[in-house]
């Protein structure tokens, strides 16, 4: 942070202006300088800048005077300074800054900051000129986002849906910021259960090597083999033999395993295609050899402990948490082993410096232990960043765990089908089927269906459980995908009504200033200017709901603006008599920001809906 600030200081010194990306960072730099000049004796003074909650208090606020006054009085200076005095002192050191219209002291010692309209205009103009909202600057990293990660032969359930949606959005955001992102699907495709699946396959379809077995219904197949495994000692023995042969990569057994995996894979891929999710499958099986060597390595380093026949590993603080089970008593590997092998591979082979795992919050202890053990083993160094992005469970409308009426887990493909059905109903209710062509209607239906499912998930603080309700997510009022998608098409249609293309608008940028005079225009622009800070916040904490709240804030500010400010004036017979280009530019900037937010959230806007 300190280095970043110094860099900003230099830039301001050089250019007399600031980097336009983060208003907060820029203001921090300005206040840091002023506070340093006012109180050179204080090492590392508190620099606190926030957005103002109320327009009465300006656009941003510096709240440093209060803690500074306290710090000063603890030094036992003879002349006691009140926070207001301190604020005055800081004010006197503030330099003219191109971003700021004025500073003012308020209340106990807050310094309110008012942004300059010209600054707003220059930022919006740069976006309009580029034809897109440019990403703020961050230090680039090699990031691995491990998400979705369903298990073969088991149903991909709503928990995996959450991981898929959240992980995809995080990856989109990091890619936008320019990080080098590797999206990995850590599929559960290895382990003891494959022994019984393969043994059963071989018994039931002895000529499986030449004739593809009909095992589309893997669920039933899994249940059958499990029953045999539990009841038939002979079968159990053969199942174990199959595991051993599988782990030794014996060809026929490997082929059987592949057949089973392919059935699941086809299902997963259908879901990914529908939701437009891109990721690389690199399941647990990939790490078999790596597991063998990590066990040897840990053994050599004396980091494994005997525990009832198992070999376990404690993290940096011995005795806290639960140790990882690295080798089971039967000699087999576990989920923990594959994660230890994977983390080493990701850091050392993939050269990742940032590791992100997206799973349900129930696994948070697992990832804490993994991080701690990886540090202890010297795999993770202090410069590596590791995040477990946890999330709460999905509930049904009865507030109980999301299940079908018969109590089964909900099939994802059926859930998406239901979404499509309900989205079409909604569009028909609004009589959109009467105005849209068949293709347009289909595009709108998919946009609404998949958009609303994703958005409803991302809108909630991911730590919390949330209630899955098609009725709620398909409402066209309030903070829903439907409302926002409509808002964007409406904004886009303004220029269309005025018969002005995007390119023409862009050309007019030189002659006509973006209109920010009216109170509602300026209010909307100031919301848009928050975009870089929202994005940088997510780069820090990986919470996406502020981006959803931001989208809603934009559309509300836009509606207020549109209500008060004419963009296109028509006479009584409906002919256009005046087009306000300055306002169309503001509308276009709004559309650019909304569009960017949508693409980060994985929503696909359509031209007509």
CB of 343 to ligand ARG, least distance (A): 8
Nearer to ligand ARG, 294 or 606 (CB): 294
The answer to whether 198 and 256 have CB atoms below 8 angstroms apart is yes
Between 24 and 154, whose beta carbon lies closer to ligand ARG?
A: 154
200 binds ligand ARG (CB under 6 A): no
Closer CB to ligand ARG, residue 254 or residue 364?
364
The CA distance from 289 to 293, in Å, is 6
The token pair at 254 is 């490997």
Whole-angstrom distance, CA of residue 166 vs CA of residue 358: 7
155 near ligand ARG, judged by CB under 6 A? no
Place of tokens 């926002």: 484
Residue (of 481, 531, 529) closest to 177 by Cα position: 531
Q: How is residue 412 written in tokens?
A: 């994802």
392: CB partners within 8 A, 6+ apart: 360, 361, 462, 463, 464, 465, 466
321 by Cβ neighbours in 10 Å (0-12 / 13-18 / 19+) ranks as middle
Is there a contact between 513 and 121 (Cβ–Cβ < 8 Å)? yes
- Distance in Å, CB of 339 to ligand ARG, minimum: 5
The rounded distance, in Å, linking the Cα atoms of 141 and 179 is 5
Among positions 33, 183, 186, 345, the unique one binding ligand ARG when judged by CB under 6 A: 186
Cβ at position 142, least distance to ligand ARG in Å:
17
The stretches of 387-469 forming alpha helices (DSSP H) are: 412-429, 438-459
Report the first-to-last Cα separation within the chain, whole angstroms.
45
What CA–CA distances, in Å, run from 67 to 24, 40, 81, 557?
19, 16, 12, 34
Tell me whether residue 337 or residue 539 sits nearer to ligand ARG (CB atom): 337
Instruction: Pick between residue 245 and residue 345 the one whose CB is nearest to ligand ARG.
Output: 345
Check binding of 146 to ligand ARG (CB under 6 A): yes
Q: Does 339 bind ligand ARG (CB under 6 A)?
A: yes
Options 61, 64, 112, 149; binder of ligand ARG; rule CB under 6 A = 149
Of these, 21, 64, 151, 334, which contacts ligand ARG (CB under 6 A)?
A: 151
Q: Residue 345 interacts with ligand ARG (CB under 6 A)? A: no
Closest approach of Cβ 193 to ligand ARG, in Å?
A: 12
- Provide the 8-state DSSP code for 104: E
Which segment (146-154, 242-250, 271-279, 504-512) binds ligand ARG by CB under 6 A?
A: 146-154
Q: Rounded distance, CA 4 to CA 413, Å?
A: 47
Instruction: Using the rule CB under 6 A, give the single segment among 42-50, 145-153, 169-177, 225-233 that binds ligand ARG.
Output: 145-153
In whole angstroms, the minimum distance from the beta carbon of 194 to ligand ARG comes to: 14
From the CB of 387, what's the least distance to ligand ARG, in Å?
A: 13
Stretch that binds ligand ARG, among 6-14, 144-152, 469-477, 587-595 (CB under 6 A): 144-152
Structure tokens at 504: 């023409």
| Only segment of 148-156, 313-321, 463-471, 472-480 that touches ligand ARG (CB under 6 A) | 148-156
Q: Considering beta carbons, is residue 63 or 337 the nearer one to ligand ARG?
A: 337
Q: According to the binding rule CB under 6 A, does residue 247 interact with ligand ARG?
A: no
Kindly tell me which residue out of 26, 81, 359, 447 binds ligand ARG, with binding defined by CB under 6 A: 359
Burial class (CB in 10 A: 0-12, 13-18, 19+), 101: middle
Choices 81-89, 149-157, 164-172, 434-442 (CB under 6 A): range interacting with ligand ARG: 149-157
Confirm or reject binding of residue 605 to ligand ARG (CB under 6 A).
no
Question: For ligand ARG, which is the closer residue by CB, 235 or 287?
Answer: 287
- The tokens of 231 are what? 């009841």
Cα distances (Å, whole numbers) of residue 211 to 202, 203, 205, 206, 261: 12, 14, 8, 9, 16
Closer of 268 and 558 to ligand ARG (Cβ): 268
Q: Which is nearer to ligand ARG, 81 or 151 (CB)?
A: 151
Which is nearer to ligand ARG, 35 or 158 (by Cβ)? Answer: 158
Closest distance to ligand ARG from the beta carbon of 149 (Å): 4
| 3-state DSSP assignment of residue 185 | strand
Give the number of residues in contact with ligand ARG, rule: CB under 6 A.
10
Q: Is 188 in the site for ligand ARG (CB under 6 A)?
A: yes
Question: Which tokens belong to 269?
Answer: 């891929």
DSSP labels for 322-357?
--EEEE-TTS---HHHHHHHHHHIIIIIS--SEEEE
Nearer to ligand ARG, 151 or 555 (CB): 151
Measured from the CB of residue 361, what is the shortest distance to ligand ARG in angstroms? 12
Pairing of strands 385-391, 354-360: parallel
The residue length of the chain stands at 609
Binding span for ligand ARG by CB under 6 A among 80-88, 112-120, 143-151, 230-238: 143-151
**Gap between the Cα atoms of 170 and 388, Å rounded:** 12
- DSSP-assigned states of every residue in 41-77: TSSS----EEE-SSGGG-SEEE--HHHHHHHHHHTT-
Which CB, 33 or 186, lies closer to ligand ARG? 186
- Edge-first strand listing for the sheet containing 324-327: 305-307, 310-313, 324-327
Exposure of 117 in the CB half-sphere (CA atoms within 13 A): 13
Q: Which residue is nearest to ligand ARG (CB)?
A: 149
C-beta of 155: minimal distance to ligand ARG in Å?
Answer: 11
Q: Which of 287, 357, 531, 561 binds ligand ARG (CB under 6 A)?
A: 357
Contact 364, 352 (CB under 8 A): no
* Closest CB to ligand ARG among residues 60, 354: 354
As measured in angstroms, the least distance from the Cβ of 146 to ligand ARG is: 5
Residue 20 tokens, joined = 């336009």
Give whichever of 457 and 533 is closer to ligand ARG, judged by the CB atom: 457
Nearer to ligand ARG, 112 or 334 (CB): 334
CA neighbor of 605 nearest in space, from 276, 198, 373: 276
Name the site residues for ligand ARG (rule: CB under 6 A). 146, 149-151, 186, 188, 339, 342, 357, 359
């Amino acid at each position: 942070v300190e280095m970043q600030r110094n860099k900003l200081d230099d830039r301001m010194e050089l250019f007399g202006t600031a980097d336009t990306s983060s208003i907060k960072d820029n203001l921090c730099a300005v206040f840091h300088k002023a506070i340093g000049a006012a109180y050179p004796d204080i090492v590392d003074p508190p620099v606190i800048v926030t957005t103002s909650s109320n327009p009465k208090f300006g656009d941003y606020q510096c709240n440093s005077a209060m803690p500074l006054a306290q710090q000063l009085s603890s030094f036992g200076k003879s002349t006691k300074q009140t926070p207001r005095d301190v604020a005055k002192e800081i004010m006197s050191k503030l330099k003219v800054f191109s971003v700021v219209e004025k500073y003012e002291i308020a209340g106990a010692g807050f310094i309110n900051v008012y942004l300059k309209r010209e600054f707003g205009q220059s930022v919006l103009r740069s976006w309009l000129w580029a034809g897109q909202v440019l990403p703020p600057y961050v230090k680039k990293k090699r990031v691995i986002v491990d998400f979705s990660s369903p298990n073969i032969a088991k149903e991909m359930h709503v928990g995996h849906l959450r991981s898929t949606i959240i992980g995809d959005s995080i990856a989109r955001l990091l890619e936008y910021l320019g990080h080098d992102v590797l999206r990995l699907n850590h599929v559960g495709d290895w382990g003891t259960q494959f022994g019984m699946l393969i043994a059963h396959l071989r018994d039931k379809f002895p000529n499986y090597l030449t004739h593809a077995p009909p095992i589309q219904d893997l669920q039933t197949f899994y249940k059958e083999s499990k029953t045999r495994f539990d009841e038939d000692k002979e079968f159990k023995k053969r199942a174990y033999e199959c595991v051993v042969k599988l782990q030794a990569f014996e060809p026929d057994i490997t082929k059987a395993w592949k057949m089973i995996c392919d059935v699941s894979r086809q299902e997963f891929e259908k879901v990914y295609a529908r939701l437009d999710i891109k990721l690389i499958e690199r399941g647990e099986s990939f790490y078999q050899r790596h597991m063998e060597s990590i066990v040897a390595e840990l053994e050599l380093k004396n980091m494994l402990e005997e525990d009832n026949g198992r070999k376990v590993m404690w993290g940096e603080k011995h005795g806290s948490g639960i140790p990882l089970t690295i080798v089971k008593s039967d000699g087999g590997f576990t989920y923990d082993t594959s994660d230890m092998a994977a983390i080493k591979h990701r850091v050392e082979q993939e050269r990742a410096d940032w590791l992100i795992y997206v799973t349900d919050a129930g696994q948070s202890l697992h990832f804490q232990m993994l991080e701690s053990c990886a540090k202890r083993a010297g795999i993770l160094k202090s410069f590596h960043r590791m995040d477990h992005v946890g999330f709460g469970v999905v509930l049904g409308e009865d507030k109980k765990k999301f299940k079908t009426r018969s109590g089964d887990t909900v099939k994802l493909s059926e859930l998406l089908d239901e979404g499509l059905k309900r989205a079409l109903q909604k569009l028909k209710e609004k009589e959109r089927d009467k105005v849209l062509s068949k293709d347009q209607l289909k595009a709108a239906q998919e946009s609404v269906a998949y958009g609303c499912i994703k958005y409803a998930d991302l809108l909630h603080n991911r730590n919390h459980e949330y209630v899955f309700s098609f009725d709620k997510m398909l409402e066209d009022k309030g903070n829903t995908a439907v409302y926002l998608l409509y808002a964007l098409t409406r904004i886009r249609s303004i220029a269309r009504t005025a018969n002005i293309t995007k390119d023409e608008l862009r050309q007019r940028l030189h002659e006509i200033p973006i209109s920010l005079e009216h109170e509602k225009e300026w209010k909307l622009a100031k919301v848009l200017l928050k975009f870089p800070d929202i994005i940088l916040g997510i780069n820090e904490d990986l919470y996406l709901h502020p981006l959803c709240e931001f989208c809603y804030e934009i559309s509300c500010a836009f509606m207020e603006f549109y209500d008060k400010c004419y963009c296109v004036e028509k006479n009584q017979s409906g002919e256009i008599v005046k087009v306000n280009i300055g306002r169309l530019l503001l509308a276009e900037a709004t559309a650019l920001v909304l569009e960017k937010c949508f693409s980060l959230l994985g929503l696909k806007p359509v031209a007509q809906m």
